[in-house]
Amino acid sequence: MEELKLLGCWGSPFSYRVLWALKYKGVEFEYIEEDLVNKSQLLLTYNPIHKKIPVLVHGGKPIPESIVILEYIEEAWPQNPLLPQHPHDRAAARFWIKFGEDKAPVFYRFFHTAGEEQAKATKEAEELLRTIQEHGLGDKKFFGGEKLGLADIAYGWIACWLDVLAEAAAVPLLALERFPRLQEWAENFKQVPLINDNLPDPVKLLSHFKSRRGEIIAAPTS
Amino acid sequence: MASSDGEVKVLGTWSSPFVMRARIALNLKSVSHEFLQERLWEGKSQLLLKSNPVHKKVPVLIHGHNTISESLIIVQYIDEVWSSAPCILPSQPHERATARFWAAYLDEKWFPSMRAVGMAEGEDARRAAIGQVEEGLVLLEEAFGECSKGRPFFGGDRIGYLDIAFGCFLGWLRVTEKMTGVMLLNETNTPRLLKWAHRFCSDDAVKDVMPETEKLAEFAKMIMSRVKGAAPGTGKS
């Protein structure tokens, strides 16, 4: 069997996506924790263009960008499929995965801003979550329907990071409880055994993001 | 396998590179389809608003009862539904990942850097913007070498996913070259891409949907004067 490594970061939702997909497929891999402040030569070699985690390395060949990695995992290990069979349903899953990706910078802005700018960013983030809840999830148990799928894994940040970021940035408007269907989805998501066995430590996450928020607020504005 | 039955329509505009991707993919598969042109300056049609309620953007592919949005997702859908005709995505997972990686790079970094050239104000800003585009092209020249392995296209012997993802921008690239007087694709820095561009644009699946540079340049002038004219307090003509 070819060597499989994941370069990731314990606090990163992008890193966790890949971890969850690999666990779901039941494949063995080596996890390498990266220090994002002092990026390793390994990371810079494997992802010279973006210099970011996660990177999956399979048989010595690197695959960067979490969404590209998710599709790769689905194709390289067809057992326990994470995408539906029908091309139209696959297109729908891909649409929502892309939506989350494209809007991520808009979404995370509330965490990096303060005052009026933060109020505006919070409103935008709220609208995004409502769109995801109403159009993406709808009445379904999972984004994928009855079963967990790739879109659920891609939106795992809602289940584990949203409340942490909202609390750290003191933005109660974005607490998960204000999005009841997403909250229900998050419970179902976290109860899937393979996800449940691989959840980030919420206490450690909150402490980390509170400290990050402190740094952001303290930084001089230009 | 999924049925390829059902009427096929593409909702789009003649000038959009993203719309072109859908049309090239259908042409490669020899799928006859209707092209419904949106007149975006008159306001978005009811059909567009109904088919793509989340983004309200073109292209949209309408196939029977199904509507699919997002150009690269449309290309993958076309490849999966009309699976017996020539394959658009490579067959190996790692090659597919490489194609997807570069397509994402084109959409997220390279095309925005090219659009920035048109919006740059002042000679210094323009030169810096052109520099960014050129740096990206050098990366893409290398990627071409790795993906094509000596064959005519990123996809090998025929046009594939990455050819479509990149090639659709060639019309706007030529407009940018005309506007700036800088040959972005050239013998010195991008010899292979220079030849590839010519092959891509001459391909039967592409030549009828690639807009003429002159027509696109006129269109670009019109958009830019609208954007700059509409921007408050710029004080510039």
pLDDT in tens, B84-117: 869 999 999 999 999 999 999 999 999 999 999 9
Residue among A33, A26, A20 at smallest CA distance from A154: A20
Matching residue, tokens 């079963």: A147
Q: What are phi and psi of B66, to 5 degrees?
A: -90, 140
Q: Is the pLDDT of residue B231 over 70?
A: no
- What was the pLDDT predicted at B164? 98
Give the bridge partners for B62, in sequence order.
Answer: B9, B67
Closest in A68, A76, A87 to B100, CB measured: A68
Contact B178, B217 (CB under 8 A): yes
* Distance (Å) from the alpha carbon of B169 to chain A's nearest alpha carbon: 20
How far does the CA of residue B54 sit from the closest CA of chain A (Å)? Answer: 8
Residue B228 pLDDT exceeds 80 = no
Instruction: Report how far residue A108's alpha carbon sits from residue A98's, in angstroms, rounded to the nearest whole number.
Output: 16
Enumerate the residues of chain A whose CB falls inside 8 A of the CB of residue B93: 72, 75-76
Residue A60: closest C-alpha in chain B: B94
**The predicted structure's pLDDT at residue B216:** 95
SS3 call for A6: strand
Alpha-carbon separation of residue A168 from A178, A203, A219, B153 (angstroms): 17, 12, 16, 49
Report CA-CA distances (Å) from B17 to B20, B165, B182.
5, 9, 21
- Contact between chains at B104 and A65 (C-beta distance less than 8 A): yes
Full strand arrangement of the beta sheet holding B60-63: B34-37, B8-12, B60-63, B66-69
Of A88-92, B100-104, B119-123, B197-201, the range with the lowest mean pLDDT is B119-123
- Is the backbone peptide bond immediately before A48 cis, with ω within 30 degrees of 0? no
Would the pLDDT of B234 be above 50?
no
User: Chain B: nearest CA to A164, how far in angstroms?
Assistant: 27
User: Is the predicted pLDDT of residue B134 greater than 70, yes or no?
Assistant: yes
Indicate the helix (H) or strand (E) that contains B229.
helix B213-230
The pLDDT, as a whole number, for residue B230 is 65
* pLDDT confidence bin for B5, thresholds 50/70/90: confident
Task: Report the pLDDT value the prediction gives residue B4, as an integer from 0 to 100.
Answer: 80
Of the two residues B140 and B121, the one the predictor is more confident about is: B140
Q: Nearest C-alpha of chain B: how many angstroms from A75?
A: 6
User: What is the model's pLDDT at position B236?
Assistant: 40
CA angle (A51, A55, A59) in 5-degree steps: 125
SS3 of residue B225 by DSSP: helix
Q: What is the pLDDT of residue A142?
A: 97
What is the reported pLDDT for B226? 80
- What number of helices (H) and strands (E) belong to chain B? 11, 4
Interface contact A68-B2, CB threshold 8 A: no
Mean pLDDT on B177-194: 96
The residue-averaged pLDDT of B143-161 equals 97
Q: How close is the nearest chain A Cα to the Cα of B103, in Å?
A: 10
Chain B interface residues (partner A, CB cutoff 8 A): 2, 53-54, 63, 66, 68-70, 73-74, 76-77, 80-81, 93-94, 96-97, 100-101, 104-105, 139
pLDDT digits (tens, 9 = 90+) for B14-71: 999 999 999 999 999 999 999 999 987 778 898 888 899 888 899 999 999 999 999 9
**Interchain pair B69, A95: CB under 8 A:** yes
Mutate to test the interface with B, among A72, A99, A102, A150 (most CBs of B within 10 A): A72
- Over chain A (222 residues), what is each successive 10-residue block's mean pLDDT? 92 95 96 91 91 95 96 97 96 96 90 95 96 96 95 96 95 94 97 95 95 90 56
Q: Is the preceding peptide bond at A78 cis, omega within 30 degrees of 0?
A: no
Mark yes or no for CB contact B53/A65 under 8 Å.
no
d(C-alpha A34, C-alpha A13), whole Å:
14
Run of H or E residues at B128: helix B123-148
Whole-number pLDDT of residue B2: 61
Q: Do A65 and B2 touch (CB under 8 A)?
A: no
